[in-house]
């Protein structure tokens, strides 16, 4: 992998990730952009104890542009985009309309390919491996920022999810705090460690799923994917490396090599869940990584450390059946109590049925 860092016309950082070492990236952003100005701030909810990002400048962000004005396609002639070069493999840049910025963290955009009409599932294994390298490198880089406590790499795919740019891309959030979902996991890990005399909850979950087998979707030498026992979403898969590591930086070469094949197969199965002729399945793919600082908040008789957390990817869709979406209504949105119409065992069976031949 070759990494080339540059600056856009308004001062934002942009990084090219190329599979070939002989690629030269010297294109200059020719747009007449003013320096970026954001109003992002973090406010803490005193009742729930969580944090909310207030970012009024995002009201003016790009919204469903026509394909010939896509800001994530390469620049070509007089059509200038966020990417100055005329082609790219993978590129990462600071979001022009970030939810988090400055002392409140950082937001980046990850473009998986220059092909506007592709999706992640269309990538080759080499291309998917390069995206994994970019996620890993950005995790390492953002971990050095004093304003970042936790790094979240994710992809939203589909208009039903709320995606406003059709080009295949994801995002990376550098949060200035440990996210509420991660904090809940860590509390559960600490409680389990204390109750069992030191056992790891993540390890026990994976071992139970492997022993049961009914919710296993696919398994490789270094990765295992399953529908969780208490799945929140109609079709939801959790993908774990078999050797527990706290973040992407901890993956060994064998796991990194196998990941593209396993992940691409999962994504392609998702597009076949609802049968031939159905539009691409909308989904969210989310990497869960350990926060960077010491975990004093969760210390007790059985203190937890970063090494107690297990890196994993959660992939789910809001489509519950052909032509129907699952909306978060009263119970889910009002009380955070999910109601799932699809039994996890049935979801796993369907995802096994649509395996690539």
Asked whether residue 167 is marked as a ligand-binding residue, the answer is yes
The answer to whether 223 and 242 are in contact (CB under 8 A) is yes
SS3 string, the chain, reads CEEEEEECCCCCEEEEEECCCCCCCCCCCCCCCCCCCCCCEEEECCCCCCEEEECHHHHHCCCCCCHHHCCCCECECCECCCECCCCCCEEEEECCCCCCCHHHCEEEEEECCCCCCCCHHHCCHHHHHHHHHHHHHHHHHHCCCCCCCEEEEEEEECHHHCCCCCCCEEEEEEECCCCHHHHHHHHHHHHHHHHHCCCCHHHHHHHHHHHHCCCEEEECCCEEEECCCCCCCCEEEEEEECCCCCCHHHCCHHHHHHHHHHHHHHHHHHCCCCCCCCCCCCEEEEEECCCCCCCHHHCCCCCCCHHHCCCEEEEEECEEECCEECCCCHHHHHHCCCCCCCCHHHHHHHHHHCCCC
Burial of 339 (0-12, 13-18, 19+ CB in 10 A): exposed
Identify the bridge partners of residue 237 per DSSP, sorted by sequence position. 315
CA dihedral 165, 237, 331, 178 (to 10 degrees): -70
The reply to whether 232 belongs to the active site is no
> 70 a known binding residue?
yes
What distance in Å separates the CA atoms of residue 134 and residue 153, rounded to the nearest whole number? Answer: 10
Q: Tell whether residue 111 is among the known ligand binding residues.
A: no
Which is catalytic among the residues 57, 64, 169, 312? 169
Taking the C-alpha atoms of 90, 291, 58 and 73 in order, what is their torsion angle to the nearest 10 degrees? 0
Active site residues: 169
């Amino acid at each position: 992998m070759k990494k080339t860092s540059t600056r856009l016309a308004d001062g934002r950082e942009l990084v090219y990730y190329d599979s070939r070492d002989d690629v030269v990236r010297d294109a200059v952003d020719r747009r007449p952009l003013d320096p970026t100005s954001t109003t992002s701030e973090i406010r803490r909810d005193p009742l729930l104890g969580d944090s909310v990002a207030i970012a009024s400048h995002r009201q003016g962000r790009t919204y469903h542009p026509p394909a010939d004005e896509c800001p994530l396609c390469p620049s070509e002639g007089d059509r200038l985009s966020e990417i100055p070069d005329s082609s790219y493999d993978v590129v990462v840049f600071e979001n022009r309309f970030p939810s988090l910025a400055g002392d409140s963290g950082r937001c980046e955009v990850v473009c998986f390919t220059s092909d506007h009409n592709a999706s992640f599932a269309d990538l080759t294994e080499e291309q998917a491996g390069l995206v994994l390298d970019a996620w890993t490198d950005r995790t390492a880089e953002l971990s050095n920022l004093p304003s970042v406590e936790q790094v979240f790499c994710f992809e939203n795919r589909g208009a039903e999810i709320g995606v406003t740019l059709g080009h295949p891309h994801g995002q990376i959030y550098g949060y200035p705090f440990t996210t509420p979902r991660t904090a809940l996991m860590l509390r559960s890990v600490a409680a389990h460690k204390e109750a069992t005399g030191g056992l790891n909850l993540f390890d026990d979950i994976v071992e139970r799923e492997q022993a049961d087998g009914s919710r296993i979707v696919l398994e490789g030498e270094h990765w295992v994917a399953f529908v969780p026992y208490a799945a929140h979403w109609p079709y939801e898969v959790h993908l774990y490396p078999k050797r527990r590591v706290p973040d992407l930086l901890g993956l060994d070469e064998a796991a990194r090599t196998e990941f593209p094949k396993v992940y691409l197969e999962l994504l392609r199965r998702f597009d076949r869940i609802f049968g031939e002729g159905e539009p691409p399945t909308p989904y969210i793919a989310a990497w869960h990584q350990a926060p960077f600082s010491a975990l004093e908040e969760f210390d007790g008789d059985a203190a937890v450390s970063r090494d107690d957390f297990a890196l994993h990817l959660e992939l789910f869709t809001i489509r519950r059946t052909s032509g129907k979406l699952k909306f978060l209504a009263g119970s889910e949105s009002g009380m955070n109590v999910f109601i799932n119409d699809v039994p996890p065992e049935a979801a796993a069976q369907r995802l096994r049925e649509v395996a690539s031949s």
